[in-house]
Chain A
Amino acid sequence: MAFAPSDEPVALKILVAGGFGVGKTTLVGAISEIRPLRTEEVLSDRGVGVDDLDGVEAKTTTTVAMDFGRITIREGLVVYLFGTPGQERFWFMWDELSYGALGAVVLADTRRLTDCFPSIDYFEQRGTPFIVAVNCFDGAERYEPDDVRIALDLDPEIPVMLCDVRRRASAKVVLVTLVEHALKTLTATQR
């Protein structure tokens, strides 16, 4: 495989997924500068009953605000972090976000473990390398990573770890674990 010349700029994309309110934006903010991004999306049937369209029935698009983070590794090598929208009705944005992604961090909250099932299914089906990071909320009972692995029925090679998304050092370990896992997956497929 030919190396790209070192002066060619490279951008990599990492996704941060998980249920609503699990700490995705906090994780991105702990390790990178957060930037706002506006997207205009076609309203789908998913919004029925959620988006009140009374009086604006002709409205077919809605503005979805999302955040992303940027980490400059060196000049010409930048890692972008995108939080996937937590609400189910924004699922249509996932395909665009996950296209070309290096890997994904699935954040889990042990009090609402089922919230991360859809994310895990999605990345398993797409073959996107992912890890599961259990955000340790204050007051939530602590579980061992292996208990979480069994509860989520994960393959043994998928890393499961505990983290505190508010702490930069912890966020760093999460990202390093993911990129190491992606590297392992890449090396395995090239063999």
Chain B
Amino acid sequence: MTRKEWLDDDAGPVVRPFALIGGRARSSGDDLDLIALITTTGVSPRDRADITPEQATILELAADTASVADIASDLNLALGVVRVLLGDLQDQGLVRVRPPAQVAPLPSARILKEVINGLRAL
């Protein structure tokens, strides 16, 4: 039996979620909306040791803009953990956060018409 078989999803994460974020439950990323869009700023981390492997993966995903929900799903990590990781990256100036369109500003009629046409064409 290979080692992998002992480490399936049912076994839970090998590294507990709280360990990934240094035991913290609060960060500047707490209020990030599920569909806030995350984009890398182009700034490189000063020291690779400053970021965790999970944060390195986030930077790769965000190179092409990704939503908070997409990042959490891709990493298979709980939303709360991903928010802390993103908050740290934001504090270090490595990612930029764009709030959802409905919050600021409202989506324009033009965008909604585009969505209607896009849905019809599916």
Contacts and interface: CB of A to CB of B under 8 A. Distances in A.
Nearest to B121: A73
B122 to A, nearest CB: 6
A24 interface: no
Contacts of A12: 35, 100-102, 107, 111, 115
Contacts of B103: 99-100
Given A12-B101, A40-B17, A71-B119, A78 B72 contact: no
B120 to A, nearest CB: 6
A39 interface: yes
Interface residues of A, number: 45
Contacts, number: 124
Nearest to A101: B102
A187 B114 CA distance: 15
B21 to A, nearest CB: 12
Given A13-B35, A100-B103, A179-B119, 14 more contacts: A3-B110, A31-B122, A40-B79, A63-B78, A71-B119, A76-B65, A77-B118, A80-B34, A99-B33, A100-B101, A101-B102, A102-B102, A180-B116, A183-B116
Interface of B: 17, 33-37, 39, 65, 67, 69-70, 72-73, 76-81, 98-103, 105-116, 118-120, 122
Interface of A: 1-4, 8-13, 31, 35-40, 63, 68, 70-71, 73-74, 76-80, 82, 96-97, 99-102, 168, 172, 175-176, 179-180, 182-183, 186-187
